[in-house]
Amino acid sequence: MSADTSPAIELRGASKTFRTPSGGLHTAVRELDLTIGRGEFVAVVGPTGCGKSTTLTLVSGLEEPTQGEVLVAGEPVRGVGDKVGFVFQQDATFPWRTVLSNVMAGPRFRGVPKAEAKRKAREWLARVGLAAFEDRYPHQLSGGQRKRVALAATFVNDPQILLMDEPFSALDVQTRALMSDELLELWEGTGASVVFVTHDLEESIALADKVVVMTAGPATVKHVFDIDLPRPRKVESVRLEPRFIEIYREIWESLGEEVRITRERGAAHVA
């Protein structure tokens, strides 16, 4: 069966054009070709506002491409599928649900019986270290704890594909490093393919098997770099290794140019 051998995610010439409120057309991504293998951790970096997040919404099925094709496990994406998990940049925990009920939401939405959903949710809460917090409401937690709830709520659905849209950008530096390590630990047990969007090059190298550099918007793939750092990695220590710095320099040469273009455009807009 082709579904077994086909890559986890495939974008073939995918473009997405939005209509702006003023009536104009805005192309967020154009002719995007990208293939992500099973179990691969891919980080996508690019200048701010270039259309990285749009790529994720196309894969998730929340949006349809204007042109081209998006395939997940060899099948064209039609609406939100059950293989996909998504961790958002902003808080997306339900504020009126307790921590436990938040993590149970996914399985319950998918028709898992209550007792089993609760058991699975408790298991994942324990894994992210929030077992003692299951009766709290999100507003009673710190930003890092809320992110853990979001991770547990995503992983509890057993996603084959994990999409992450700058998930840790709102956290402080120490918490972010800690969460990155935890993410790697959680992911290593699942065999899921990950697409991790970020504007932080360091974070992307520390986490990923491959780093995809996007061009200034409308985004398309500029370059794909393989990261040959050995796993398991610890985010804090890996970035001090000479090889890390070498890779960083190499990718920054490519990314820096796009960042400069974006910045000049921004300056032109202001002027």
Report, in Å, the least distance between residue 259 CB and other proteins.
27
**Are 235 and 207 spatial neighbours (Cβ–Cβ below 8 Å)?**
yes
Please identify which residue in the block is written with the tokens 């969007």: 197
Site string for other proteins, 31-70 (x = CB under 8 A): -----------------------------x-x--------
* CB nearer other proteins, residue 96 or residue 173: 96
Please identify which residue in the block is written with the tokens 């998730």: 60
Pairwise CA distance, residues 45 & 196, whole Å: 9
Pairwise CA distance, residues 178 & 184, whole Å: 10
Q: Binding to other proteins by residue 91, rule CB under 8 A? A: yes
Q: CB atoms < 10 A from the CB of 191, how many? A: 9
Q: Binding to other proteins by residue 90, rule CB under 8 A? A: yes
Q: Which stretch binds other proteins (CB under 8 A): 21-29, 89-97, 208-216, 262-270?
A: 89-97
Q: Binding to other proteins by residue 84, rule CB under 8 A? A: yes
Distances (CA, A) of 210 to 28, 110, 202: 22, 32, 13
Question: Which tokens hold the place of 98?
Answer: 């307790």
Among 26, 33, 75, 110, binds other proteins (CB under 8 A): 110
Residues at the contact surface with other proteins, assessed by CB under 8 A = 60, 62, 80, 82, 84-86, 88, 90-92, 94-98, 105-106, 109-110, 137-139, 153, 157
